[in-house]
Amino acid sequence: MLGALLNTVTTVLHHAEAVDPDLVDRIRHTIDDVTGFAPSTIVLLIVVPVVLFPLLLVTLYLLGPRAHAHPPSTASGTPPGDRRSDDSPVDRAR
pTM to 2 decimals? Answer: 0.43
CA distances from 44 to 7, 37, 41 (A): 35, 11, 5
Give pLDDT tens digits for 42-66.
899 999 999 999 999 999 999 988 7
Measured distance CA(42)–CA(58) in Å, rounded = 26
Please tell me the chain's helix, strand, coil percentages from 3-state DSSP, rounded to the nearest 5: 60, 0, 40
Residue 68 clears pLDDT 90, i.e. is over it: no
If pLDDT is split at 50, 70 and 90, which confidence band does 88 have?
A: low
